[in-house]
Amino acid sequence: MAYDPGLAELMREDLADVAGISEKKMFGGIAFMLDGHMVCGVHQGGGMFRIGKEAEADALAIEGAGPMMFTGRRMGGFIDVSDDALVDDDRRAAWLTMALAYARSLPPKA
């Protein structure tokens, strides 16, 4: 796999008690979904969080976060984080809180 399985395990542990979480291979890595909506993921070199456009500035203000780029284009409402930032429990928890709040604001997918 193109992602660090240790980082994926950190995310699994953080999400273990959240009902409705599933995993899906995406972006050359693994994504964690809540009721069909992407919450976060792990890819080569780090991870990403879908935090919504309203929380993007707050998420980017945390050290280790940057804009999420995919095929040369910025993905609004997503942040990319370095692997060093992802292993930091406090930063990961802050981003995950934002991402779960955003996913919970969306209607479940059918």
CATH of the domain at 14: 3.90.1150.30
Tell me what the mean pLDDT of segment 21-32 comes to: 91
CA distances in angstroms from 83 to 36, 39, 108, listed in the order given: 25, 17, 30
- Amino acid identity, residue 26? M
Instruction: For residue 77, give the nearest of 25, 40, 22 by alpha carbon.
Output: 40
| pLDDT at 2 (0 to 100) | 78
How many domains are there within the chain? Answer: 1
**Residue 42 forms part of a structural domain:** yes
**Residue 13 forms part of a structural domain:** yes
**Residue 57 forms part of a structural domain:** yes
**Residue 36 forms part of a structural domain:** yes
Helix (H, G, I), strand (E, B) or coil at 84: helix
Q: Which domain holds residue 18?
A: 5-104
> With a threshold of 0.75, does the pTM exceed it?
yes
**Residue 109 forms part of a structural domain:** no
**Residue 110 forms part of a structural domain:** no
| pLDDT at 110 (0 to 100) | 66
CA–CA distance, 17 with 26 (Å, rounded to integer) = 22
Q: To 5 degrees, how large is the angle CA 71–CA 106–CA 80?
A: 30
